[in-house]
Structure 1
Amino acid sequence: MEVETARPYFFGDIGFWAERTEVHKAAYQGQVSELQSLIQSGASVNIVAVDSITPLHEAAARGQTQCVRMLLDAGAQVDARNVDGSTPLCEACSIGNFECVRLLLEYGAKVNPTLTSRTTSPLHEACMGGNADCVRLVIAKGASLEAYDLYYGTPLHVACANRHLECVKVLLNAGVRVNAARLHETPLHHAAKSNSVDMIELLVEFGANIYARDKYDRKPVDYTRPDTPSAHCLQLYESNPLSLQQLSRITLRTVLGTKAVDVVTKLDIPNRIISYLLYQ
C-alpha cells in the first residue's frame, strides 16, 4: 500500500520540517493504534523523509517506546542513519529515555556506530543531556569511553562542559582517561570554566593535570575568576602537591584503566580501602 504523504507538522522547537508520511507522524506522536493499522495495511516502516529520518528516528526522539517496539518488530532498520549520521539510539540517548535505549540495544543497535564529521556517539549524546542512567547502560554494553568527536572531544569533555557531575562520576569510575585532550584542552579546563568546585575536586582526585595548557597556553586556573571558589580550589592544589597515597591511588587506576573496578573489588582488603582506591 502506498501511504500518502501527510501535511507538514510541528517538530520540537525548530519549526516545520520537511514533509513526513503518516507513519512518521504516528511514530512521532505515539499513536500506537494508528501506527499498527498503517503497518498492517502494508506501509513501509523504513520509508525515509528527505533528510533521511525514518519513523524509528521519530519514535526514538520522542521516547515513544511502544512505537519503537512495534516498528522494530515490523522490520525497522535499528541502525538507520539520518542526514547527520545519527541513529535512533543516538536520539534515545539524547533525550535520556532509558527504556527506549534498553529496547534498541536489545534489538541489536550498535553502541559504537561509526562516527563522521557530523555525528556524535550515543555516549556523547547521553552525556550531553546529563542522562547518567543511560550513560551507565551504554557503557555496560561496551560503549567506547574514548570515542572522539571533532567538535566536542570525548564524552568526558562533553559531560564536564555541560556541568553534569553524575555523568562525570560514572565515566571516571568506568576508567575513562581523565587527561584526554581536544586541541590540548582537557576536561579540567571545562570544569574550571564552569566554576564547578565539586567537578574540579573529582577530576583532580582521579589524576587530572592542573598544569595542562590548552592551545592558548592557558591552565585550568586561568579560566577561573579571581576570588571564586573554583580559583581558590585550583590554587590550593597548585600550592599543595598530592600526597603519596593519592598519587599511588591514581597510578593504580591509570594502570588498571577500565578493569579497575573489577580487579580492586576482588582484592582481599577492607572495604574502606576498596572505596578509597575506587573513589566511587
Structure 2
Amino acid sequence: MKAVAVALALLAAGLAAPAAAQVAPAAVEAQAYQGLHRAAWRGDLPQLKALIAGGADLEARDAMGRTPLHVATYARQREAIGVLARAGARLDAFENDRYDAVTIAAVADDVPTLALLLSLGANPGQTTSRYDGTALIAAAHLGHDEVVRRLIAAGAPLDHVNNLHWTALIEAIVLGDGGPRHQRTLIALVDAGTNLQLADRQGHTPLQLATARGYTAMVEKLRAAGAR
C-alpha cells in the first residue's frame, strides 16, 4: 500500500514513479565478493586489517559502484566501518546511484550505524540520489523519526529542495501515511525551525498538503507553529 501511495503522490505531481532506489548487495553478489568487499561484508576484521596493511584499494568498486565501506554499511558491520574509516576510506563516496553511507544508513533506519558514521566525520548534508535529495529528505519520506532527529542534530540542511521540488517537510507529508512516525518526523522538523512556507511545484504549502490529506495531527502542529 505504501508503494501505491508513493506512486500516486508522484503522479499527482506530474512525475513518473521512481525505480528502485538503493540496491543492497544481493546474496549472489555477496557470495562472489573477494578482498576488501568480502571482508567488509562479513565483518572479518583480521582479514580486513591484513588486506589494508597489504595496500588493498580502500576505494575499490563492485559492479554497482559500492566501496567496501558502502558494503559494510549495508551489512551493518560497524566495526568494519570503523577499521575502514580509520585507514582512510572515504566516508562521502557515492555509489552508482549517488548514495553515500549516511543515506544508506538513513534509509535502512539504522540509527547505530548512522551515529557511528557521523561520529567518524561523515557529512550529514550531501546532495544524494537521482532526485538531488539528502539523507534527511529520504528519512523524512520514510518516517524514520529518530534518524531525522540525529541528522538534524548533526547539522543536516533543513530546507534543501530536491528536483521533485520537495523538502524534507513536504516529503514527510506527501509520501508519508500521516501516522505516528511521520507525525514525529514532522514535529522534529518544525521544532528545528524548518521553513513552513516552502511550497511544492504547484504552489501548495505544507499546511495545504497536510489539510488536503486529512492529516489532522500534522495540521494542528503546523498551524500552532504559524504555518499558512
- Aligned partners of 2:50, 2:65: CA distance in 1, in Å? 23
Task: Give unmatched runs, 5+ long, in structure 1.
Answer: 1-10, 210-280
One of 103, 108, 113 as aligned partner of 2:126: 113
- Please tell me whether residue 80 in structure 1 is matched to residue 98 in structure 2: no
- Please tell me whether residue 182 in structure 1 is matched to residue 200 in structure 2: yes
Distance 1:71 1:196, change over 3 A: same
* TM-superposition CA deviations, 1:1-21 (whole Å, max 9, x none): xxxxxxxxxx75978669754
**Correspondence list, 1:27-106, <5 A:** 27-106=40-119
Greater CA radius of gyration, 1 or 2? 1
Distance 1:60 1:128, change over 3 A: farther
**Correspondence list, 1:123-272, <5 A:** 123-151=136-164, 153-160=166-173, 161-162=175-176, 163=178, 164-183=182-201, 184-192=203-211, 194-209=213-228
Contact 1:94 1:128 in 2 (8 A): no
- Aligned partners of 1:133, 1:78: CA distance in 2, in Å? 21
Quote how far apart the aligned CAs of 1:206 are. 1.9
Alignment root-mean-square deviation, CA:
2.7
- Aligned partners of 1:28, 1:151: CA distance in 2, in Å? 34
Task: Give unmatched runs, 5+ long, in structure 2.
Answer: 1-22
Quote how far apart the aligned CAs of 1:171 are. 0.3
Which region of structure 1 is more displaced relative to structure 2, 20-29 or 97-106? 20-29
Q: Secondary structure of the residue that 1:207 maps to in structure 2?
A: coil
Residue identity in the other structure for 1:201 = E
Residue identity in the other structure for 1:172 = V
- Aligned partners of 1:48, 1:134: CA distance in 2, in Å? 27
- Aligned partners of 1:37, 1:102: CA distance in 2, in Å? 26
Distance 1:118 1:24, change over 3 A: farther
Contact 1:46 1:76 in 2 (8 A): yes
- Aligned partners of 2:164, 2:172: CA distance in 1, in Å? 14
* TM-superposition CA deviations, 1:172-204 (whole Å, max 9, x none): 000111221121133234434544221222222
Residue identity in the other structure for 2:85 = L
TM-score, with length taken from structure 2: 0.74
Q: Which runs of 4+ in 1 moved over 4 A?
A: 11-20
Contact 1:84 1:119 in 2 (8 A): no
Contact 1:123 1:143 in 2 (8 A): yes
Quote how far apart the aligned CAs of 1:96 are. 2.1
What is the percent sequence identity of the aligned residues?
29
